[in-house]
Structure 1
Amino acid sequence: MAENENGAAQQAPQVKMNVLTQFVRDLSFENILAQRGTGGDVQLDVTVGVNLDAKKRKIEHQYEVTMKLNVAGKNKTKENEPLFLLEIEYTGVFHVEGVPEDQMHPFLLIECPRMTFPYVRRIVSDVTRDGGFPPLNLESIDFMQLYRNEISRRKAASKDETVKPDA
């Protein structure tokens, strides 16, 4: 801890985060199996794609964080035949104070999705059940690892761009 002019210890700023609101911005579920009118032996194989976006709002200390999930169900027994496709954009509006500016980006893309993910998980479960499939309970997502992977991917992409000679 640093000391100020009077010799009193200064405390690090206290981080404050509140979820102001959260909502489904966009939701789509397509039951491909029912549209084809086929059935039979189905062994579900699910892939989940996650994309995160954060932006500052006009109001001071407010940020909007959107989680986009693309959930594809395929049939393992029939050459990965598509069964369903679920796409959801879920947004949380957060009031965040006390986070240093250089740490705000990772904070928004790690901590904020951690707060909203349980709600997204429930929606995915309900929609897949209501769409005619067993409820899909998504595994937890490690948002810190997701963030690290994206940073690594961007660094590798920027190195590739600087190494490539002009054609």
Structure 2
Amino acid sequence: MTDNDQATTPSREFSLQRIYVKDISFETPNSPAIFTQEWKPESSLSLNSAVSKLDEDLYEVVLTVTVTTKLGDKTAYLVEVQQGGIFTVRDFPEAEMGHLMGAYCPNILFPYAREVVSDLVSKGSFPQLLLTPVSFDQLYAQHQQEQASKQQPAEPAPH
């Protein structure tokens, strides 16, 4: 490879600059009465991510993890964590940016958010909550399929 080849070949860069908790919410609307009930909870998990461009090659990705745990019709606790990360992303083709921001970065952030959720639940005097791993690659692929199907024109009705 000549010096000219090196000068024209883009050098990709992906690096993590910072990981931080952007927002936390923990609610126990039915405590202390909820502690007197038999502990057979049902939990639901909601995930969302958002991307903001901060500078030319600098992006903020925020993963929002929301867990609602109920005993019957009463909410035992509701915990929401916004786990943020700042990433340097340089010289990636536009076609790869969606997957990078929508799956790869959330995969990096999820273990941190998972730990915060577990700590908050324990500090709320509830049994430890361990969130199972999540395949953000699969979630991203499903999202892409949903977006593609929405853009497809509807089949004409048969006459």
CA contact under 8 A between 1:33 and 1:39: conserved in structure 2? no
Which residue identity lines up with residue 81 of structure 1 in the other structure? K
Paired residue for 1:115, among 108, 111, 115?
108
Q: Is residue 153 of structure 1 aligned with residue 146 of structure 2?
A: yes
Deviation by residue 1:48-97 (Cα, 9 ceiling, x = unmatched): 1101111221x22111111011111122xx3x432111111111000112
Residue 121 of structure 1, CA deviation: 1.0
Q: Is residue 163 of structure 1 aligned with residue 159 of structure 2?
A: no
Count of residue pairs brought into register by the alignment:
155
Who is 2:41 aligned against?
Answer: 44
Which residue identity lines up with residue 47 of structure 1 in the other structure? S
Deviation by residue 1:122-162 (Cα, 9 ceiling, x = unmatched): 10110000012112111111000110111122223334xx5
Which residue identity lines up with residue 127 of structure 2 in the other structure? P
Q: Report percent identity of matched pairs.
A: 27
**Closer, same or farther: CA 124–38 of 1 in aligned 2, 3 Å:** closer
Where structure 1 has 5 or more consecutive residues not aligned to the other structure, the ranges are none
Paired residue for 1:67, among 60, 63, 69?
63
The TM-score with structure 1 as length reference comes to 0.79
Where structure 2 has 5 or more consecutive residues not aligned to the other structure, the ranges are none
**Closer, same or farther: CA 55–164 of 1 in aligned 2, 3 Å:** farther
Which residue identity lines up with residue 61 of structure 2 in the other structure? V
The TM-score with structure 2 as length reference comes to 0.83
Which residue identity lines up with residue 137 of structure 1 in the other structure? L
**Closer, same or farther: CA 126–163 of 1 in aligned 2, 3 Å:** same
**Closer, same or farther: CA 98–45 of 1 in aligned 2, 3 Å:** same
Misfit runs of 4+, over 4 Å:
8-14, 35-38
**Closer, same or farther: CA 153–39 of 1 in aligned 2, 3 Å:** farther
Residue 36 of structure 1, CA deviation: 4.9
Who is 1:81 aligned against?
Answer: 74
**Closer, same or farther: CA 69–62 of 1 in aligned 2, 3 Å:** same
* RMSD over aligned Cα atoms: 2.7
Answer with 117-126 or 30-39: which moved more. Answer: 30-39
